[in-house]
Amino acid sequence: MEKRIQENELVLPSLFLMEINDGHITTEKLIPQLREIMRPSGEDLEILNSRNDDKFSQKVRNLKAHNTFERLGYAEYTDGVFSIVLKGQEYLEQNRDILTYLLNNDFSYPDLIKNLKIVEKEKKREIQIFDENLIIQEGMKIIVEREVYIRSKKLRDYALDFYQNQGKLCCSCCGFNFSDFYGKEIGDEFIEMHHIRPIFQYKGDNLVQTLKDAVHNVAPVCSNCHRMIHRHGRQPLQMEELAQYVKRNGIFNISAY
Ligand SMILES: [Zn+2]
Ligand SMILES: [Zn+2]
C-alpha cells in the first residue's frame, strides 16, 4: 500500500511531542501540537470530501490507522494514547540535532516535510548537519559535539570565501558591513549565515561537493536583519521582503554616545 509512506515525516516530531508530554499523547492532542510546530500549508490544508477534516489531520490519524509507530517499534498505542518506548527514545536521541535544526531555522513546510522524509528513508546512512547557530544556542554542545562544530565551520568558511569573492561581505538585506562600521580590528569577516533551505550531508559523501551545492542555500546577513527574519518564528520573512522594508524605512540615528 503506497499510502503508508505518507505520514512517515510525522514520526520524529511526534516522538518529540510524546517526550515533552511526559511520554504520552492522544491523537486529539497530537493534531494541534504537530500543527503548531510544523505549520502545514498547501495541499495538506485541503478539506477532505465529506469530512470536517483536512489532509494534515488525516495524516496524523493515519499514524494510528497504519500502526506506524508499532511497525517501527518506537511507540505503543493503548486506550487512545501513544506512549514512546525505549527504541523510540533512542531514535529521537540519534536525530535530535536534525530535528532541532529543522525546527529552529523556520524552514518552510515543504522543505520541512521533504527533509523529514529523507531522515526516515535514509535511516541507515548517517546524516550530518551544518548549523553553527545550533552550537551557539546549546552552549556546551561545542565540547561534546566537535564534529558538528567542525562541519559548520567548514560551511561558514566556504560561504565567507564564496561571498567575499563576489564583492564585500555585506548583509544581503540591508547592505551592512561589520568591518566598515566597527572597523577591521573587531569587525573583519563577521557576518551571520541564514539557512534558506536545510543542508545535510551523508557521512562519507564528498564534502567539497556538498559545500558547493550548499552555499546557494545560505545567505550572509547582519545580526539585526537575521533577528527580523526570524522574529515570527515559523513564518520567516523572505530576504527580498525584508530588503524592501529596509528600502522604505531604513533610517537610523547613531546618537547613543
Ligand atoms: Zn542587515
Ligand atoms: Zn536564519
The neighbourhood of ligand 1, an ion, using CB within 5 A, equals 171, 173-174, 176, 222, 225
pLDDT-derived band at 142, boundaries 50, 70, 90: low
- The pair phi, psi for residue 182, each rounded to 5°, is -100, -10
Confidence of residue 1 (pLDDT cuts 50, 70, 90): very low
Q: Binning pLDDT at 50, 70 and 90, where does residue 151 land? A: confident
| Ligand lying closest to the C-alpha of residue 194 | 2
Q: What's the mean pLDDT in 24-31?
A: 96
Closest ligand by atom to 173 CA:
1
CATH architecture of 2-94: Orthogonal Bundle (1.10)
Domain boundaries, the chain: 2-94, 127-249
d(CA 172, CA 187): 17
Quote the CA–CA distance of 79 and 93 in Å, as a whole number: 26
What predicted TM-score, i.e. pTM, was given to this entire model? 0.84
Distances 144 to 67, 98, 135 between C-alpha atoms, Å: 36, 16, 10
Q: Which residue has the cell 517499534?
A: 73
Per-residue pLDDT at 30 exceeds 50 = yes
DSSP 53-89: -BHHHHHHHHHHHTTHHHHHTSEEEETTEEEE-HHHH
- For residue 181, the CA-to-ligand 1 centroid distance in Å is 12
Summarised one tens digit per residue, pLDDT across range 212-221 is 999 999 999 9
Query: What is the gyration radius of the CA atoms in the chain, in angstroms?
Result: 21
Pick the ligand that lies closest to the CA of residue 224: 1
How many residues are given for the chain? 257
